[in-house]
Homo-oligomer: A and B are copies of this chain.
């Protein structure tokens, strides 16, 4: 998606430790008009899939998920992150690992809002090694929900998580795919 790639090129900052900082428009400050356009694009790709729910993870996935849900005319649902694995019986839960923060955490959603009746589109801001996306998919599996696929704003394609999930049969649509990046040469898209 050209609009998003241009913005990443213009305002994204490549930091040491393989970090792409997009805090100015994607996950601290939010460019609502850009995210609405990204949401419309993702929604358009999955419009014939019978999606009943858009699932994301707090906090940085919420904005995009809302706009996708608006364009698909269905609710969004955000998984909450918990540091304990001591979770009540009223929720579906799945473990994930944050490479950014170097810790494990548990994602939870209330059983009230995810069931075998649902067809789910998973949405997130980033896809790198795929740990968060796998956990979100696991929540759907536990609930017996069908997964239509995943819509991602920025895929770090060189980290391989997206292609592994595609090889497992998951439809993954990324609005920008980074082939390589470093502080000197900048960002190269696929």
Taking A30-B75, A32-B66, A63-B66 as known contacts, 19 extra A-B pairs with beta carbons closer than 8 A to each other, sorted by chain A number, are: A23-B112, A24-B113, A28-B77, A28-B110, A29-B76, A30-B66, A30-B69, A30-B76, A31-B75, A32-B67, A32-B69, A32-B74, A32-B75, A32-B76, A58-B59, A59-B59, A59-B80, A62-B63, A63-B76
Number of contacting residues on A, CB 8 A? 31
Residue of B25, B67, B69, B73 near A75 (CB, 8 A) is B25
* A138 at interface by CB-CB < 8 Å: no
A41 to chain B, nearest CB (A): 16
Enumerate chain B residues within 8 angstroms of A33, measured Cβ to Cβ: 70, 73
* A36 at interface by CB-CB < 8 Å: yes
Contact B70 A29 (CB under 8 A): no
* A78 at interface by CB-CB < 8 Å: yes
Enumerate chain B residues within 8 angstroms of A112, measured Cβ to Cβ: 23-24
Q: Residues of A at under 8 Å CB distance from B?
A: 23-25, 28-33, 35-36, 58-59, 62-63, 65-67, 69-70, 73-78, 80, 109-110, 112-113
Kindly state the separation between the CA atoms of A47 and B59 in the bound complex, as whole angstroms: 27
A25 — nearest CB in chain B belongs to which residue?
Answer: B75
A39 — nearest CB in chain B belongs to which residue?
Answer: B32
